[in-house]
Amino acid sequence: MKQVDLIIVGQGLAGCALAWQAWFRGMRPLIVESDSQPGRHCSRVAAGLLNPVRGRGAPKLVWRSEEMAHTARAHYDNVALHIGRRVFHPTPILRHAAPEVQASGHSLKRGGAPAGKTLSERFPGSSPDKPLLVRCGGWLDTATYIDSTRMFFRERGCYFNETYSECDTKFGASVHDGVRWRDYRAKALIVAAGLGARELPSFSSLPFRAAAGRIAEIEPPSPILSDEIHVFDGHWLIKRSGGPHLCGATYEFVDPESVPNEFPDELRPLTNRILGPAWACSHIRIGVRPILRQSRPLAGRHPRIPSLAWLNGLGSRGVSTAPRVAAALLEHLLLGAELDPEFDAMRCRHVHQFLQ
């Protein structure tokens, strides 16, 4: 029997964050990832933006934006040291506003309530009559992050490329008994399988509200010269170095199979505003976000199986939230630290009741 500290099912943004956070703490994880069913994961589709400001009209700060962004940037910088390649690219965000929002000085709202500050004051360098400048954003090169993570752990014998099934697993009766999968023993098994969790009996009843999204790869008449991320009316346009210009993303609460493989009209005001009318769309990417409770992740032990844990519900903000929640879950499982109530799955009755 071989001993590892953790078995992690899934290697999207959640699984990668767990594997690295475990590695940074001197632990040995084993990743089990099935990449044979491309429709099942969305981390590769995502543009990887980290944007602390949301909202189509009056801008709002996203949930715990500073804390999440701080941990995320430290996480991706640390990964870069291990793999020898930068994966996170700090990039200013230019938020173009509709005239009525601009006239109000981009009044800042926190969770819907005015916070008594304008965004221009919160983000120095902005002015009410110009697009709002957000300097603390950027983008994660998700493909490089995922591929390099895989290579790193595979080279160290910590990676299985196959579909995990609960039939091969023997869960101990208490937290201390740990778990056995094939000829591996671990203290816990963490399911970080995004929407793929629905196919595992222990998680099949999770009440996902999956939102499909489209991102367009764009060929502009000439490249955007600056390295800014442009945001307008809830959509963004970005020139990623070494890749195509991307524009997105839509939210479509429909059967993902029915999402048309064509340029969404709702992105046109943004592309026309930034690129003029003479651009072309070369490809459409479609992914599905795993949402359980807005875009706020949940993590914790399974209520019936103590050595089984999970991290899911990253929604549309996995880049910023995955590292912080992964770190908290590991400290909870391995050191007994209390989970932050805001992402403790046990305290979220709306979701927890489905696992009983």
Phi/psi at 113 (5° precision): -100, 140
Stretch that binds ligand FAD, among 27-35, 93-101, 168-176, 256-264 (CB under 6 A): 27-35
> How is residue 146 annotated by DSSP?
H
Residue 292 interacts with ligand FAD (CB under 6 A): yes or no: no
H/E stretch holding 238: strand 235-239
Q: How far is CA 195 from the centre of its chain?
A: 13
Residue of the chain from 59, 131, 178, 248 that contacts ligand FAD (CB under 6 A): 248
Residue 48 interacts with ligand FAD (CB under 6 A): yes or no: yes
Residue 210 interacts with ligand FAD (CB under 6 A): yes or no: no
SS3 133: strand
Comparison of 38 and 277: residue with beta carbon closer to ligand FAD: 38
Residue of the chain from 131, 194, 306, 323 that contacts ligand FAD (CB under 6 A): 194
Q: What does R_g of the chain's alpha carbons equal in angstroms?
A: 21
Residues in 116-175 that interact with ligand FAD by CB under 6 A: 163-164
Residue 33 interacts with ligand FAD (CB under 6 A): yes or no: yes
Residue 53 interacts with ligand FAD (CB under 6 A): yes or no: no
Residue of the chain from 89, 245, 289, 332 that contacts ligand FAD (CB under 6 A): 289
Residue 315 interacts with ligand FAD (CB under 6 A): yes or no: yes
Comparison of 108 and 146: residue with beta carbon closer to ligand FAD: 146
Which long-range contacts link 177-185 to residues 24+ away (Cβ below 8 Å)? 177/307, 178/307, 179/7, 179/307, 179/308, 180/1, 181/7, 181/30, 181/32, 183/1, 183/2, 184/1, 184/2, 184/3, 184/4, 184/7, 184/30, 185/1, 185/2, 185/3, 185/4
Residue 343 interacts with ligand FAD (CB under 6 A): yes or no: no
Contact criterion met (CB below 8 Å) for 107 and 114: yes
Residue 14 interacts with ligand FAD (CB under 6 A): yes or no: yes
Residue 298 interacts with ligand FAD (CB under 6 A): yes or no: no
Stretch that binds ligand FAD, among 55-63, 192-200, 202-210, 271-279 (CB under 6 A): 192-200
Among 194, 177, 161, smallest CA distance to 313 is for 194
Q: Which residues bind ligand FAD (CB under 6 A)?
A: 9-15, 32-35, 40-43, 45-49, 163-164, 192-196, 213, 215, 248-249, 287-290, 312, 314-320
